[in-house]
Structure 1
């Protein structure tokens, strides 16, 4: 399949802005129904995205209906099975999108959504094989090899940190367990390096390999350092008490509170604006158990990828708008001067090669951008790029492992490998570290 030629988006934007409001229907288009967009952003992130969509609607006169949910996988699958998918779905899991592409359920992106050189590896990872089409584009990225703490605290100076000092929560609705997979993934990356990580994440290195087992054992021994930590983590929501407010400044998961949280850059949106401004971070390689002496040059990242589930010119226009360098640059710097009662609290981190650290507000946001741009290698979240059945089983086995963190993980890993070996095989992504 190939996409039909589209006019240059910047020219379309300029023409739309020159037309009178009555001609382009500013504030609401006339098409029926509106474009349906499904995404993972709720709360503060959803409000930020809605503002971005309002700008698109004003410019193009195209109505958009956004549905934000933490169960994007399940909602999308229901829509696809019923023959009524959204026009655009934004997912954190490339494994899911690779599966949909392999089944012919995605439409190729318009060429101007992925101009040459705009995105480096691994952001445009694609299934191995002869098909040269692009089926997804990153519209938001996050740093994961990081540890949040209160500003003014330098945990790297404090020596080894026991598990009781860490905020730990495994609960996350339909995807409970993923905070634990993040720990194992980052430990594996910092222990064994990007080549081993890439081979494992793409299915070339078996789950039973000694490097993979060592990462599980390292985390298990660490979690067993406090008899209550693992059990408390299994009962704690990663978003904070009652599923909101964050863990770090709210007493955490342990009886005496916590001072460190291994969580992605998106976690700042879980906190209220004033609490979030009290947060700072340290690269995780300085604090994770078992990290190699030279660790830190390779970091784990994640992204939310947009894909087309309907062949729709308006949807292509929206997708190209979301990925455009002007849109992404504006969103990166929006937090610097949002105006009274307007604009997002925090920037959207971009994978676009022309959106530089200098575009972000000075302070924590710019330092995160510097980590994303300055790392020697970036590796996509492994559970996100695995085939859906394997990624989900990874979540489940992490929870089983935490029930007895000193157990030999060999049996759990063999079970995951057994499922990974079952046909049909989703085409392996070419490269998830770049």
Structure 2
């Protein structure tokens, strides 16, 4: 049985208005229904955000599933998962499984009836109690997604052997790039989110991320001002360069930390644990410190709250094979394979991090080239609170405007951010008004954003 929340559209026999997804687009027209769950399907399609080396690691994992189940799996990796998925939904041909890095989109898809419930036994929920990985709207009666990969965000990367001096964390020493194709601006949102978390605490952070605190409240304004003052510290040069710099660094390079040219060859980079995939062959030279030690405005330099992100898998077509793939991706056995071993690191592969409590520090390389992975896991396991990336859990429309205003703010980081934040608040209130009008209820709030 599908979800039973009042006013929720049911998939069977309906016409989908894709514009209702995120209240952004108005794309009216019939969208194909899922194939009958009883129809045998011996081939699966998977859409995900991983390309390059990350894609190769994931495809190795899928090969194990293919060998075990006799099911062929075709993976499509793209940095434009949202656009590709919407195109497939509009054409009535979505992938069987999609992995998305933003929970806010999945909430919209579930509300519109595009997601298939996972069924009993796919997720052992007790094994994810150590974090916010199972966050979902209050009142959702079935689980529709699972975390398959997680990352630690409240960290600052530096070159091994060059431990940063907290007293000299001025802007000109930092690698900062806002470019990211259709989602440019998100690296700046990470800065603001982490500043707010370390400056005002997890309760204020969660209230803001859930949409229960207005954007013009003091905690939010103060975080923007703190970041703006920091980015203005070198006359705004770092801010200006960030607007024209890709966060991945130059194509074919080694990311920003080890790169050259604008934004590169710097000393510090506020970036998630996935950043080592950007550093190429120089990844083993990268080390990190927790961000509170260097972040402007941090109230406690030894603070234990950490911002995190996750990639979530969801099923868009019902089939026994799809259920088996979801169960496989959630299993500790598959997660341990993804963590890799010393042999994997000898091939230059970088581990993925798991939210599963049975895949702990001991699952990662003990020494040699990689002591950093175990330290990342240690931070995840010993944090006071883990808080999901705030923009990732926001509705897509709010997230998009957030990114836009980050870019506008960086163009003049010394400005009073109140006007920009007021505009985001207006968009949020309008989207909530439209939601009430369409669904005849209050917007659902995600629970356990911090845990």
The question of a shared fold, defined as TM-score above 0.5 by the shorter chain, is answered with yes
Aligned CA distance change for structure 1 residues 264 and 173 (closer, same or farther; 3 Å): same
Q: Distance in 2 between matches of 1:300 and 1:340?
A: 30
Give the aligned length: 400
Decide which of 350, 359, 377 is 2:385's aligned counterpart.
377
CA contact (8 A) 1:168 1:253 kept: no
Aligned CA distance change for structure 1 residues 409 and 58 (closer, same or farther; 3 Å): same
Q: Distance in 1 between matches of 2:85 and 2:127?
A: 28
Decide which of 407, 431, 435 is 1:424's aligned counterpart.
435
- The farther-off stretch of 344-353 and 180-189 is 344-353
CA deviations over 1:126-162 (Å, ceiling 9, x no partner): 0122x3211110000000000000011211x451311
Q: Distance in 1 between matches of 2:162 and 2:51?
A: 30
Q: Distance in 1 between matches of 2:345 and 2:151?
A: 25
Residue 55 of structure 1 deviates from its aligned partner by: 1.0
CA contact (8 A) 1:219 1:289 kept: yes
Residue 252 of structure 1 deviates from its aligned partner by: 6.0
Aligned-partner SS, 1:242: coil
Aligned-partner SS, 1:41: coil
Residue 251 of structure 1 deviates from its aligned partner by: 2.9
Residue 340 of structure 1 deviates from its aligned partner by: 6.8
Decide which of 360, 363, 379 is 1:359's aligned counterpart.
363
Decide which of 288, 296, 313 is 1:281's aligned counterpart.
288
Residue 306 of structure 1 deviates from its aligned partner by: 0.3
The reply on whether 1:72 has 2:81 as its aligned counterpart is yes
- The farther-off stretch of 114-123 and 54-63 is 114-123
Equivalent in the alignment of 2:171: 163
Decide which of 315, 324, 345 is 2:322's aligned counterpart.
315
CA contact (8 A) 1:284 1:296 kept: no
Matches within 5 A, 1:31-110: 34-110=43-119
Q: Distance in 2 between matches of 1:252 and 1:284?
A: 25
CA contact (8 A) 1:163 1:229 kept: yes
Residue 293 of structure 1 deviates from its aligned partner by: 2.3
CA contact (8 A) 1:240 1:246 kept: yes
The reply on whether 1:192 has 2:197 as its aligned counterpart is no
Q: Distance in 2 between matches of 1:55 and 1:230?
A: 45
TM-score, length of structure 2 as denominator length: 0.86
State the superposition RMSD in angstroms: 1.8
Q: Distance in 1 between matches of 2:397 and 2:198?
A: 26
Matches within 5 A, 1:257-406: 257-273=265-281, 275-293=282-300, 296-332=303-339, 334-338=340-344, 341=347, 345-362=349-366, 363-406=371-414
Q: Distance in 2 between matches of 1:93 and 1:399?
A: 20
Q: Distance in 2 between matches of 1:399 and 1:339?
A: 37
Q: Distance in 2 between matches of 1:418 and 1:339?
A: 49
Matches within 5 A, 1:110-129: 110-120=119-129, 121-129=131-139
CA contact (8 A) 2:177 2:263 kept: no
The reply on whether 1:206 has 2:214 as its aligned counterpart is yes
Aligned CA distance change for structure 1 residues 238 and 101 (closer, same or farther; 3 Å): same
Q: Distance in 2 between matches of 1:176 and 1:339?
A: 31
Residue 73 of structure 1 deviates from its aligned partner by: 0.9
TM-score, length of structure 1 as denominator length: 0.89
Aligned-partner SS, 1:355: coil
Equivalent in the alignment of 1:12: none
| Contiguous gaps of at least 5 residues in structure 1 | 4-30
CA deviations over 1:142-195 (Å, ceiling 9, x no partner): 00000000011211x451311010001000001100000000000000000100
Residue 112 of structure 1 deviates from its aligned partner by: 2.2
Residue 371 of structure 1 deviates from its aligned partner by: 0.4
Equivalent in the alignment of 1:154: 163
- The farther-off stretch of 419-428 and 311-320 is 419-428
CA deviations over 1:265-302 (Å, ceiling 9, x no partner): 001011223x0000000000000000002552100000
Residue 104 of structure 1 deviates from its aligned partner by: 1.3
Decide which of 182, 188, 203 is 1:174's aligned counterpart.
182
| Contiguous gaps of at least 5 residues in structure 2 | 4-39, 437-442
